[in-house]
Amino acid sequence: MNDAASKKQPGLLMVVSAPSGAGKTSICREILRLFPNVRFSVSCTTRPPRPGEVNGKDYDFISAGEFRERIARGEFVEWVENYGQLYGTPKETMNAFLKQGYDLILDIEPRGAKALREHDLRGISIFILPPSFSHLKSRMSLRGESAAVMERRLKSSLDEIREALWYDYIIFNEKLEEAVDRFRAIYIAEKSRRDLLTERIEAFFNAALS
């Protein structure tokens, strides 16, 4: 087989954002289950683990001091501070997956997504929304937080949702199965883009003419 045809293409970066309670985690887990070549980029954070979270799988939980040191060394492709905690995407890990040809889901908020755009990385952005604002409020009320905290979170969520207008794709998560199908359709279509397959197309014609 021609080298260009067999050459492994760099992976596709899929930046996924959503307000809290939109069901983003459930959708991404299904995509990871359906597509063995898709990986999840584990971010670093200074916040403590929540019940059920596993270090190295959900996040790399590190101290604020270590996080700041890694910022100074330029190890994050993007990082943000949210509710007093730091979150960042390790540059080396992300690039390693993509160079090996793995497609990568990156779960970050809009500020981080904007920072990634400045790096001119080949990829797509997907924003996941709940069916309605009332649904969002209902999901947040289940946290059992005070009215003041809930109000602050709602305001923050609305600020994030306003950023959805510049994302490539929007998925309303009314039913999990349908939302997963939409994500799946986006992924399959993006993997078939002509600009990603130029070398393979050229190899096809070169073989035909040789």
Across 184-199, average pLDDT: 89
Instruction: Give one DSSP letter per residue of 131-180, joined into a string.
Output: S-HHHHHHHHHTT---HHHHHHHHHHHHHHHHGGGGSSEEEE-SSHHHHH
| Residue 35: how many other CB atoms lie within 10 Å | 15
CB distance 143 to 129 below 8 Å: no
- Measured CA to CA, the distance from residue 106 to residue 81 in angstroms comes to 17
The SS3 assignment for 13 reads strand
Residue 5 pLDDT exceeds 50:
no
% the chain with pLDDT above 90? 60
The pLDDT confidence band at residue 4, using thresholds 50, 70 and 90, is: very low
3-201: CATH topology: Rossmann fold (3.40.50)
Q: Can you read off the two tokens belonging to residue 162?
A: 């306003």
pLDDT tens column, 44-84: 999 999 888 999 999 999 999 999 999 999 999 999 998 89
Residue 100 pLDDT exceeds 80:
yes
Nearest to 109 by CA among 131, 80, 136, 142: 80
CB distance 14 to 102 below 8 Å: no
% the chain with pLDDT above 70? 93
Across 119-144, average pLDDT: 82
Q: Can you read off the two tokens belonging to residue 86?
A: 């730091």
Residue 148 pLDDT exceeds 80:
no
Residue 1 pLDDT exceeds 50:
no
**pLDDT score recorded for residue 143:** 66
CB distance 88 to 70 below 8 Å: yes
The pLDDT confidence band at residue 145, using thresholds 50, 70 and 90, is: low
**pLDDT score recorded for residue 209:** 84
